[in-house]
Structure 1
Amino acid sequence: MGFLEKKTKPVIGLDISSTSVKLLELSRQGERYRVESYAVRALPPNAVSEKNIADVEVVADVVKKVVQQAKCKTQNAAVAVAGSAVITKLIEMPGGLSDDAMESQISLEADQYIPYPLEEVAIDFEVQGPSPRNPDQVEVLLAACRRENVDLRTEVLEQAGLTPKVVDVEAYTMERAFSLVARQLEDDSDQVVAIVDIGATMTTLSVLLEGKTIYTREQLFGGKQLTEEIQRRYGLSAEEAGLAKKQGGLPDDYETDVLLQFKESVVQQVTRSLQFFFSSSQYNDVDHIVLAGGVAAMEGLADLIEEKLGTQTSIANPFASMSVSPRVNAVALASDAPSLMIATGLAMRSFDD
């Protein structure tokens, strides 16, 4: 039972995405966090496809290298599964039950909430608090994930010489990391905030109200489309195109004909994602947009989204108020900050009360 371990020792956060492995290790003194180690390493093409691990050995090898590069202090690790791989349901249960009694009852009743054979799923639950409808009941968040998704991630960690301690859900790691970003917003009380996480192949919209996730949706779109357009237009390999995208040196028409078109596509994707949210909820606006993921730091993108949508837009930086260990490359960390939200949320599991 369970793929989230509640109490844990310090863990490294490992975000295994479609194109890279990102590692982060945090420590904390009082309320202040410090980045102890961090590293990012690219994955070979197709090792992970749409957040599903396709080649355990290849991914484990990259994880091993990223751990060596970061020189971590612990071998305990936390990873996450994509939100689309998880079914969540809010249920009500008697308030006086112990965790063990609650676990037994959920095991007996789980088949009425989950549309998969129970032997194929890993199940976990977390008490959210008293039920607003019945004072004798508590609200319990039930989460179920296909066991294969959990097993593949734990297998990768074990092959890389790590001890899997936590398998989390990306949406909740994003929520946890957002608690650090929320402090940077002008007025973070009662706000509806949209976090748009634009990765290499996937864009995930998470909408938070008062810091809690109320909506999440994934769609296929990401920075890889810009890389592919650079390849096609300028006759470069995928590796050359990826480097040129970061380092520059492309022909003069790149800015106007390729980059600007991609930015416009991002604006369209953000608009479309928000429209899906508005059409399925009582909301017709958000107070703030936070851009995360590798594409987020693209020069001028936040300004363009703010201008086109008329909504205040900022770039996620979970490290704004953290100190940084001397052995961490602070310049590289700042550059990668928007793409390290999930890794940050995972590393913060070290400090679960």
Structure 2
Amino acid sequence: MGLFTQKKVPLLGLDISSTAVKLLELSQHNGRGGVRYRVESYAVEPLPSTAVVEKNIADVEAVGKAIRSVVRKAGTRNKRAAVAVSGSAVITKVISMPAALSESEMESQIQLEADQYIPYPLEEVNIDFQVQGPSENSPELVDVLLAASRSENVDDRVAALELAGLTCDIVDVEAYAMENACSQLADQWPNAGEDQIIAVADIGATTTTLNVLHNNRIIYTREQNFGGRQLTEEIQRRYGLSVEEAGMAKRQGGLPDNYIPEVLEPFKEAMAQQVNRSIQFFYSASAFNNVDLVVLAGGSSSVPGIDDLIQERLGVETVIANPFANMAVASKVKPQVLSNDAPALMIACGLALRSFD
């Protein structure tokens, strides 16, 4: 099974993060205004804190149970899914190959030469490739994106899906799923993203991932250990609550008056610093020294006022990601709840969109 296999049947986009399983199902409709998508079903199911550690599945059964539960919650009958592995679990390399080769000839040649590019024994990895287009260096060559991940990263996800009665059709890479979801945001961006440097900061529970897009293609990715769990832990410590109670209070409110000035505001400042630091790393690693727009994704970007604070601190226009802004919504999906969760559903959205490649 490939990392980029293409299928036409609508797939469930399943984002397995360190704290939750997020499911999204889309359908595609051709109308007078062109192609439109509709959100058919979606749900989020929390995971036990030991189930996924540093983006690796540590407890396949617990994840399988959560997937079964999220499918039931969403009320979908669909049994085929797309999942993603994190960028840190994947080695990608662009190589040039003769344009005249057929796909099967390319596959044979890649298998022969793969050990040059991949530092693991080949029997321990899943490899896939995708032709990107003509090479700039020579018209006789094409650029081929090679992606490899250790088999256990892929196998654990497939096994968790199978425990929930689902079939895994696609294993993607989180960064490419994010790039795919950004296709639904581009019309909200200056110049639709063309000739623009867009920094997408995905701030999850434990990890902040910065993806930088140029011409709507990812040119840089970096992960840092920082996320919303730090706020949860501070609420726990400060108010003597359990993890569950702290998480609930964070979402629903009801904390003492000193919560906002003494706990939430310092966390927002720390978030702004992390985003700024990630962008500074990008400048030092690339030929660029500015970004045109900052897009906030991930669960932590729903902290009230964080977009205004980051815009003020960085001096760059900052917006919150909502890939569903131009989508229709099925009657069983509550639009307000979907809108609140939208920034955290970017990867699930990118995976669900793979149905229509």
TM-score, normalised to structure 1, is 0.98
> Partners in 2 of 1:238 and 1:65 — Cα distance?
21
The aligned counterpart of 1:169 is 173
Residue 7 (structure 1) shift: 3.1
Higher deviation after alignment, 139-148 or 186-195: 186-195
What secondary structure, in the 3-state scheme, does the structure 1 residue paired with 2:220 have? strand
The aligned counterpart of 1:93 is 97
The aligned counterpart of 1:83 is 87
The aligned counterpart of 1:337 is 342
What secondary structure, in the 3-state scheme, does the structure 2 residue paired with 1:180 have? coil
The aligned counterpart of 2:267 is 262
The aligned counterpart of 1:159 is 163
The aligned counterpart of 2:6 is 6
Which residue identity does 1:79 align to in structure 2? V
The aligned counterpart of 1:299 is 304
Question: Given that residues 21 and 45 in structure 2 are in contact (C-alpha distance below 8 angstroms), is that contact kept between their aligned partners in structure 1?
Answer: yes
Higher deviation after alignment, 257-266 or 3-12: 3-12
The aligned counterpart of 1:201 is 206
> Partners in 1 of 2:103 and 2:202 — Cα distance?
34
Which residue identity does 1:347 align to in structure 2? A
Question: Given that residues 206 and 216 in structure 1 are in contact (C-alpha distance below 8 angstroms), is that contact kept between their aligned partners in structure 2?
Answer: yes
Which residue identity does 2:5 align to in structure 1? E
> Partners in 2 of 1:8 and 1:106 — Cα distance?
26
The Cα offsets for residues 14-37 of structure 1, whole Å up to 9 and x where unpaired, read as 000000000000001121000000
Residue 212 (structure 1) shift: 0.3
What secondary structure, in the 3-state scheme, does the structure 2 residue paired with 1:320 have? coil
> Partners in 2 of 1:57 and 1:242 — Cα distance?
23
What secondary structure, in the 3-state scheme, does the structure 2 residue paired with 1:208 have? strand
Question: Given that residues 3 and 173 in structure 2 are in contact (C-alpha distance below 8 angstroms), is that contact kept between their aligned partners in structure 1?
Answer: no
What secondary structure, in the 3-state scheme, does the structure 1 residue paired with 2:25 have? strand
The aligned counterpart of 2:29 is 29
State how 1:215-230 maps to structure 2 within 5 Å.
215-230=220-235
Residue 186 (structure 1) shift: 3.1
What secondary structure, in the 3-state scheme, does the structure 1 residue paired with 2:190 have? coil
> Partners in 2 of 1:15 and 1:85 — Cα distance?
15
The Cα offsets for residues 27-82 of structure 1, whole Å up to 9 and x where unpaired, read as 01121000000000101111111111000011100100100111113100000000
- Extract unaligned runs of 5+ from structure 2: none
Question: Given that residues 197 and 213 in structure 2 are in contact (C-alpha distance below 8 angstroms), is that contact kept between their aligned partners in structure 1?
Answer: yes
State how 1:43-122 maps to structure 2 within 5 Å.
43-122=47-126
What secondary structure, in the 3-state scheme, does the structure 1 residue paired with 2:4 have? coil
> Partners in 2 of 1:347 and 1:229 — Cα distance?
35
Correspondence for 1:349 among 343, 347, 354:
354
Residue 3 (structure 1) shift: 3.2
Question: Given that residues 135 and 141 in structure 2 are in contact (C-alpha distance below 8 angstroms), is that contact kept between their aligned partners in structure 1?
Answer: yes
Which residue identity does 1:192 align to in structure 2? I
- Extract unaligned runs of 5+ from structure 1: none
What secondary structure, in the 3-state scheme, does the structure 1 residue paired with 2:183 have? helix
What secondary structure, in the 3-state scheme, does the structure 1 residue paired with 2:5 have? coil
The aligned counterpart of 2:17 is 17
What secondary structure, in the 3-state scheme, does the structure 2 residue paired with 1:207 have? strand
> Partners in 1 of 2:293 and 2:264 — Cα distance?
25
Q: For this pair of structures, how many residues does the alignment match?
A: 352
The Cα offsets for residues 296-348 of structure 1, whole Å up to 9 and x where unpaired, read as 12111000000010000000000000000001121111110000000000000
User: What CA RMSD, in Å, does the superposition of the two structures yield over aligned residues?
Assistant: 0.9
What secondary structure, in the 3-state scheme, does the structure 2 residue paired with 1:295 have? helix
> Partners in 1 of 2:51 and 2:256 — Cα distance?
32
> Partners in 2 of 1:225 and 1:217 — Cα distance?
19
Residue 8 (structure 1) shift: 4.2
TM-score, normalised to structure 2, is 0.97
> Partners in 1 of 2:78 and 2:62 — Cα distance?
22
Question: Given that residues 8 and 165 in structure 1 are in contact (C-alpha distance below 8 angstroms), is that contact kept between their aligned partners in structure 2?
Answer: no
The Cα offsets for residues 247-304 of structure 1, whole Å up to 9 and x where unpaired, read as 1111111111110000000011001111111101001111000000001121110000
Residue 2 (structure 1) shift: 3.0
State how 1:284-323 maps to structure 2 within 5 Å.
284-323=289-328
Which residue identity does 2:47 align to in structure 1? L
> Partners in 1 of 2:302 and 2:65 — Cα distance?
28
